Copies of this chain bind each other. A is one copy, B any other.
């Protein structure tokens, strides 16, 4: 058991600093070039799916069960077989699904853009309002925040707990302020902490009584089936059903995709929502597009056959990813346990580990890592306006580098955490 840094004397800290600095200069001299910044599958994950690309052959039946030729125009909302598959990923009925193209981010963006331009089920278009606000559980996903920022929507931080967002605050804002039109959620294996919302959290979401008729929950179920372990996967209560029970059937847009099931650039994505919401969206879509790539939907259906096939496939991803998560956790535990200069999450799934440094240290840690050749997600990226008020959160993305690279990168990371923490403690002496 190591001694907490804050219990060290100034002299001890100075000696430690000198030693850490020497180690840092040695590490820097190695000329590393490693990237732990993005939730990107590794080449070995992608290589598992080479046969996915050959699944359509010259004799493959290219018609849907409803008789539509997947090569031609038609079926704006996706092929029935793909609806079923995507519905099963999140446990809803297939008639609550529209299947889109390769980017669920694009669905989210368009959903907000549509609300800006046309309103929501007859409400005033948001671009005509003086003020629109979104709640943002923090730390959270930078690309969510980038969308709302681009549209000039005011973002309000809501602290995350291991059960989900602080629901007292959520209820207060949503139920009292009609300018609050949405909340960004990654309810399972949240980005970056890997937390899964508890049943109580989901039920409290479903029981909201929004002051705004056009308030919606943006439920980005990005890691719905992205477990790391076969025997301990988090369970997320299905929200659309809960909302319906509470008379809030229209309150959720749920997003899901296969970007991290098949290929990040060539997956398929889907929106799940109530009939009223879907009908309204289809009314716009019929003007916006000729529809999604149905052949790529068909590839998914042929490759996985059903949700069981898809889930079995996810265990192959897990087998590649799990050792990477564990390698990082091992280094963090070995090097930082007891020092009280940082804490980290130990998720059962998803793509990230969240590291909480001492206040005021995150930017400097990321910067030192970068100078020594290891790129992390920018500090602050997990907060709206890239502004982490405590400057303490760092997102670690273990999936892309090899295990060997990860181990080197994490060694450097903990070294920088120690060094920056010591400097911080010395400043405060």
Contacts and interface: CB of A to CB of B under 8 A. Distances in A.
Contacts of A293: 101-102, 265-266, 293, 296
Nearest to A263: B71
Contacts of A41: 72
Interface string A38-53: 1011010010011101
Nearest to A107: B289
B117 A151 contact: yes
A293 to B, nearest CB: 5
Contact of A40 (B73, B150, B265): B73
Size category of the A interface is: 35 or more
Contacts of A54: 54, 56-58
Given A71-B266, A265-B74, A293-B102, A53 B56 contact: yes
A127 interface: yes
Contacts of A105: 288-290
Nearest to A58: B50
Contacts of A57: 53-54
Interface string A66-102: 0001111110000000000000000000000000011
Contact of A264 (B73, B106, B109): B73
A71 B43 CA distance: 9
Contact of A127 (B110, B117, B264, B284): B117
A287 B150 contact: yes
A116 to B, nearest CB: 6
Contact of A109 (B43, B288, B291): B288
A60 to B, nearest CB: 8
Number of identical monomers bound together in the oligomeric complex: 2
A259 interface: yes
A259 B71 CA distance: 10
A287 B71 contact: no
Contact of A287 (B56, B146, B289, B292): B146
Contacts of A116: 117
Nearest to A118: B150
A147 to B, nearest CB: 6
A189 to B, nearest CB: 19
A66 to B, nearest CB: 14
A188 interface: no
A69 to B, nearest CB: 7
B58 A51 contact: yes
A119 to B, nearest CB: 12
A147 B287 contact: yes
A113 interface: yes
Contact of A103 (B46, B143, B291): B291
Nearest to A286: B146
A46 B68 CA distance: 13
12 contacts: A43-B69, A46-B71, A53-B56, A71-B265, A101-B101, A106-B290, A109-B288, A113-B117, A147-B288, A265-B294, A265-B295, A266-B293
Given A38-B73, A147-B288, A265-B294, 7 more contacts: A40-B73, A43-B69, A54-B56, A103-B291, A125-B127, A150-B284, A265-B295
